[in-house]
Structure 1
């Protein structure tokens, strides 16, 4: 390929599941490959950057450390995506148990023995890591275990959900369910493709404390954001 040339993306895998279609694409540009996850025709995420996914983990851990000194805090990451959040968490010895909830078997397979293993391979071999195949909304509402942190990245943001069912996660009852999954003083962190003042207000109205938003500038448009809140 000539320098600077970019070809249309190549679909490596496409599967129809209970939540619709999910696809993995590879895009070649300037001799480098970028992988993209597409859900029901909607771009979800790719491997071109990863800064905001790493911020999701770092800002959460920083919020925990600002409040207390838990020796090995547990974290729930939802979902697996392209693996940046999982890989970054597993690279930090500070974390204890790392649970990843992912509803799409295809995404799990792409990490287990597909192209995305180059990002998540070492993390998947980490004894602290557990992959749970489940719908995150159902898991949050029905699980009995509590976590010190919830790092949620299943949509393009609270104001732009990938599937209609996910909207309930950001509702008053969904935020209450998240609080029930957190230990006292635990951190809820939600990734978003843009800052949402409405979601900040929803967090406050749901009883969370220390509500704040961390931002990552992007080349075009509004910055990516991580909304953070503390269960009192």
Structure 2
């Protein structure tokens, strides 16, 4: 996700305007690229995807050496860059995507399909319409849901800029314990942010260190000015 609206060469064309779970959703096309707008706020587009790919590659590098058959949980489908990046990695066997907005999933049957490599047709990819907050809260207490190696969270503009009030829970103690519960030993969680969040990374480091975990900060340059940031947490334990 990105907080700044790119400046198009031509006027945007609205492909669809609809009411979503969290308010108005707009899919628009400009200069051959697609943008998703929520309640007037620019969320993401199909122009780049560097930071999403960096989140996946850094997360996989942080896993124990030689791990194969990797299972990835992705919070937020968006334009599909994170899921596609994971599926393109040879070590990944399965990608499970949780997306709150049903229309975003539907757009991957139409305008967004080709840009993300037709995710809905991928045998190794399960896209589920679900609230990540509610799913994690429930899944953390059910042993059968454990088994992800990497979790990529890209549901907001970052820990300090949540687009939905309930999502603030994802950056706190209870959520981190749920994430531990759904990951295998040596598991990794990667958090996407449109800006540095020093308070968050201090908190995350304090929570991971007692378990032998570490936190890596990955800075990704962007064409719009301020770089994106990815925090890669080795949970330890």
Q: TM-score, normalised by structure 2?
A: 0.88
> Which one is further off, 5-14 or 157-166?
5-14
Unmatched segments (≥5 aa) in structure 2 = 1-7
Q: Distance in 1 between matches of 2:104 and 2:159?
A: 22
Match of 2:3 in 1: none
User: Does the CA-based 8 Å contact 1:190-1:228 persist in structure 2?
Assistant: yes
Q: Distance in 2 between matches of 1:167 and 1:81?
A: 19
User: Does the CA-based 8 Å contact 1:91-1:123 persist in structure 2?
Assistant: no
Q: TM-score, normalised by structure 1?
A: 0.90
Deviation at 1:17?
2.7
Which residue of 135, 141, 164 corresponds with 1:139?
Answer: 135
Match of 2:179 in 1: 178
Deviation at 1:121?
3.7
Match of 2:59 in 1: 60
Match of 2:223 in 1: 219
Q: Distance in 1 between matches of 2:119 and 2:36?
A: 20
Give the number of equivalent residue pairs: 222
Q: Distance in 1 between matches of 2:107 and 2:55?
A: 22
- Which fold has the larger relative contact order, with Cα–Cα distance below 8 Å and residues 6 or more apart in sequence? 2
Name the SS of the counterpart of 1:74 in structure 2. strand
Deviation at 1:11?
1.5
Deviation at 1:201?
1.1
In angstroms, what is the RMSD of aligned CA positions?
A: 1.7
Deviation at 1:9?
1.4
> Which one is further off, 52-61 or 120-129?
120-129
Q: Distance in 2 between matches of 1:142 and 1:39?
A: 27
Deviation at 1:109?
0.5
Which residue of 68, 71, 95 corresponds with 2:68?
Answer: 71
Match of 2:93 in 1: 96
User: Does the CA-based 8 Å contact 2:67-2:91 persist in structure 1?
Assistant: no
Deviation at 1:223?
1.0
Which residue of 16, 21, 24 corresponds with 1:13?
Answer: 16
Q: Does residue 38 of the first structure (1) align with residue 42 of the second (2)?
A: no
Deviation at 1:44?
0.7
Deviation at 1:53?
0.8
Q: Distance in 2 between matches of 1:150 and 1:131?
A: 14
User: Does the CA-based 8 Å contact 1:15-1:21 persist in structure 2?
Assistant: yes
User: Does the CA-based 8 Å contact 2:208-2:234 persist in structure 1?
Assistant: no
Name the SS of the counterpart of 1:96 in structure 2. strand
